[in-house]
Amino acid sequence: MVVKCEVALMKSQDLNEGEAELLRKAHEAAANAYAPYSGFHVGAAVRLKSGTIVLGNNQENIAYPSGLCGERVAVFSAGAQFPNEEIESIAIVSPSPLAVPDAFMPCGSCRQVLLEAELRQKTPIQIYLQARDEVVVMSKSASNLLPFSFTIQNGVFK
């Protein structure tokens, strides 16, 4: 079995206006994150097929793991507010000095949530990841970020 994980590294100046706008919105969301324990702010911006942008940021809680990551806040908010709209893309950013520019990735739970959103809507979600204002990692599907994922097909885990 061969498993392929394809991502592209891009520079900010190589992004089109829509991609750049989505990253700007994610940075705005990160500025409002509540991260008093980790100091690791994360912002996310989801673009729906209609063009609507839904924001999310990490919300920590002293009763760990009661908080949520920024990307899950954005994806769940989009699903709750716009249940019949497809997610086209998501930008996930962190201004934290702890974020490694070419290795900044969602946690495993967030990767699974992104993949399940793709499976539910039956179309891939383009993902942009950026630490601070440096290199942008782009994936055309959440499946690239979670190559050994699991799903249920006909009531059976696959």
DSSP classification of residue 123: S
C-alpha neighbours within 13 Å on the C-beta side of residue 1: 3
CB–CB of 69/29 below 8 Å?
no
| Residue where the block lists tokens 């700007």 | 24
| 17, 21, 60, 71: the active-site residue | 71
In the numeric block, which tokens belong to residue 152?
Answer: 């249920």
Q: Verify whether residue 28 is a known catalytic residue.
A: no
Residues tagged active-site: 71
